[in-house]
Amino acid sequence: MVFDLDMIKKLYAAMPGRIEKARKMVGKPLTLSEKILYSHLFPSQKLENFGRGKSYVDFAPDRVAMQDATAQMALLQFMSAGRPKVAVPSTVHCDHLIVAKSGAKDDLTNANKESKEVFDFLSSVSNKYGIGFWKPGAGIIHQVVLENYAFPGGMMIGTDSHTVNAGGLGMVAIGVGGADAVDVMAGMAWELKFPKLIGVKLTGKLNGWASAKDIILKVAGILTVKGGTGAIVEYFGEGAQSLSCTGKGTICNMGAEIGATTSTFGYDSSMERYLISTGRTEVAKMANKIKQHLTADPEVYANPEKYFDQIVEINLSTLEPHLNGPFTPDLATPISKMKEEAAKNGWPTKVEVGLIGSCTNSSYEDISRAASLAEQVANKGLKTKAEFTITPGSEQVRYTIERDGFIKTFDRIGATVFANACGPCIGMWSRMGADKKEKNTIVHSFNRNFQSRNDGNPNTYAFVASPELTTALAIAGDLTFNPITDYLTNERGEKVKLDPPKGDELPKKGFDVKDPGYQAPAKDGSKVQVKVSPTSDRLQLLTPFAAWDGKNYTGLRLLIKAKGKCTTDHISMAGKWLKYRGHLDNISNNLLIGATNFFNEKQNSVKNQLNGQYDEVPKVQRAYKAKGIGSIVVGDENYGEGSSREHAAMEPRHLGVKAILVKSFARIHETNLKKQGMLALTFANKDDYNKIQEDDSIDFTDLTAFAPDRPLTLVLNHKDGSKDTIKVNHTYNANQILWFKAGSALNQMGQGKKAAKKKPAAKKKAVKKPAKKVVKKASKKKVVKKAKKAKKKR
């Protein structure tokens, strides 16, 4: 089934003309990223030579994708927008609320029981508002999007940071918060600061144990977790063209781990093959007709230093497998150096579990290469030393790999196949013994490895690797095992070596699936009822946030001064908390419980300035809220790194936090804070972070003059009576300041709708009167003409 064919036809018909106009405006050849961006300007957006990293631009994405955890809040907000139907093609994918425990069948059955209320809500909302619905078990949002919706040259947004996966099919696909998705679904412009451009030139060709995963692991080591912030990463070169489409998707997927706005590749034969293999031959034919517009102009790749803000070059022929981690996805270690690094850092080297799949590496190619290693276990008399799990990315992939015998191969080495869902990647893993908090090592082919993320144990050392290397390390049970050089001892006492992995880019017999799990929406959803029980602990209708009262914030208490890495997992944990993603008050009980307090080095332990006692972060903040006291959160570098979850912005807003002040923000989180009417601020002087004291009371002195490009002033009132005055910066434009003043972007949207309703009525009156006069005059002329004709006949 081909979705949205008419929409793609319309875009492709318009792209060449739009690109030509943009090229004339910019006055130079265009990168692929620029072509897609300029082809998706909102109708009211004036065409300009936009400043990279400077200009705020209004875009019109082609589609929206939401996963079940974030879709709840996004759709609760959309229900307030007053629209009968979504303005662009949109989908919901149920992939986050399935706990991996014993195996696919039982886990899916349990999820359908435990989260029935949420699934029913999402199904009915989708049905009512014209949204495609993918049922639990259908697959992970990003894999399903790649198989069904992604297309070269398109632009999409999704309420998950790994929406960027669709760049593997030549899209500009960007992760956003739910409020951004609401704007687009409501037919409004989507605002983004025009990105900077990073070019990654790939030369040579992968061989042996190296895979597409190792490319992004290497890039992460070069650019770090914030090196791509505010930029699109565009891959090119002979090495890029040698990669499979799903391999490109893996690279783009983990672009979220370097903070990139998105990543993308130019259209090529691998994308054409993938489109045809997934039943979209018509899309491939259309793309072939305009393929020169679906990649950069030739001059760009010939002299990339002239057209990109930064260039990275990687020779794939010499690239070796990498292991990234622990606790951060940018700590990159070539496998040949792991023994040395593990010894130096005291990392546990016994691998307890190897996990492959998830949205990052669950393609047919990934699974087939891992299966080629699993086959060697029996053939070479080996035994797998670690537990081993597989998480297929979609029902289409799962059904096809079962048909082709791969699941039987994994069964023979004692592997567990989990449901087609996120599972352990996002902490939805009921891991036996994790509650003991023992120090241990796991290796997985997922994208993130933050502390406590996978199993809730802060002492689990998680390393990210390719599915091939993960499988090899699970067989060896040793983090320092290098399959390129090292031997294993089999059950017969013989020294054996693993052969390099082999696999097919696409299934030779084609993809197959019995039931993909898709539910089309009702043609007329006006009669569909969406019910939310007022006593539910899973779902809660939203109450608009209060508008700013126009006064300076004064007497704000310091809630927490977070030390070091503070990701969205630290601010709003996933795992068991996912069940409350549709209930803002309940999920607010996990606010910042994973953040480390600078003053006592503890998690979820902050000082309540009302009584001087230490307590859990949410409890302290609720105490302030009950007394009508505002507060402020202070953080370190790249605050809000990780997931796109807007709950990390909505929770502090709901509980009365007024401002987040940090050294630097991750892009999506900063936008989410703005959308929810929060103040997202950065230290003008990063050293002022050290001036914040535990018992501080903080005043704004010039918030009443809040304006673009104008710093704000804070007074830190210390307990001993002394004061410090500091400057803080912000990136708000005039429209975003209106969000703050209205209380949220959603409130501002409502105010705009009311104003729009009044204006057309006034215009109609002004136009109506002269129109009537014209009609009367015209009718008089006709009467005169008829009278003259009658006289002549007489």
Residues acting as catalytic residues:
95-96, 160, 448, 643, 645
Distances, alpha carbon 86 to alpha carbons 75, 79, 131, in Å: 11, 10, 7
Residue type, 781: K
In Å, how far from its chain's centre is CA 52? 22
Give dist(CA 792, CA 30) in Å, integer: 71
Distances, alpha carbon 58 to alpha carbons 19, 647, 707, 741, in Å: 17, 24, 20, 21
Please report, to the nearest 10 degrees, the dihedral formed by the alpha carbons of residues 322, 327, 329, 331 taken in order. -60
Residue of 132, 129, 161 lying closest to 149 (CA atoms): 132
Residue type, 692: I
Q: Name residue 229's beta-bridge partners.
A: 260
The per-residue DSSP string of 476-521 comes to HTBTT--TTT--EE-TTS-EE-PPPP---SS-TT----S---EEPP
Contact between residue 392 and residue 398 where contact means Cβ atoms under 8 Å apart: yes
Helix 245-253 and helix 212-223: axis angle, to 10°? 30
Q: Which residue, chain included where needed, has tokens 């890495």?
A: 565
Give dist(CA 262, CA 745) in Å, integer: 23
Give dist(CA 237, CA 208) in Å, integer: 20
Residue of 635, 649, 630, 619 lying closest to 564 (CA atoms): 635
Residue of 628, 621, 611 lying closest to 660 (CA atoms): 621
Give dist(CA 571, CA 767) in Å, integer: 54
Cβ contacts of residue 241 below 8 Å, gap of 6+?
Answer: 268, 269, 270
Please report, to the nearest 10 degrees, the dihedral formed by the alpha carbons of residues 491, 495, 499, 501 taken in order. 50
Give dist(CA 267, CA 521) in Å, integer: 31
Give dist(CA 319, CA 317) in Å, integer: 6
Residue of 437, 397, 439, 443 lying closest to 417 (CA atoms): 397
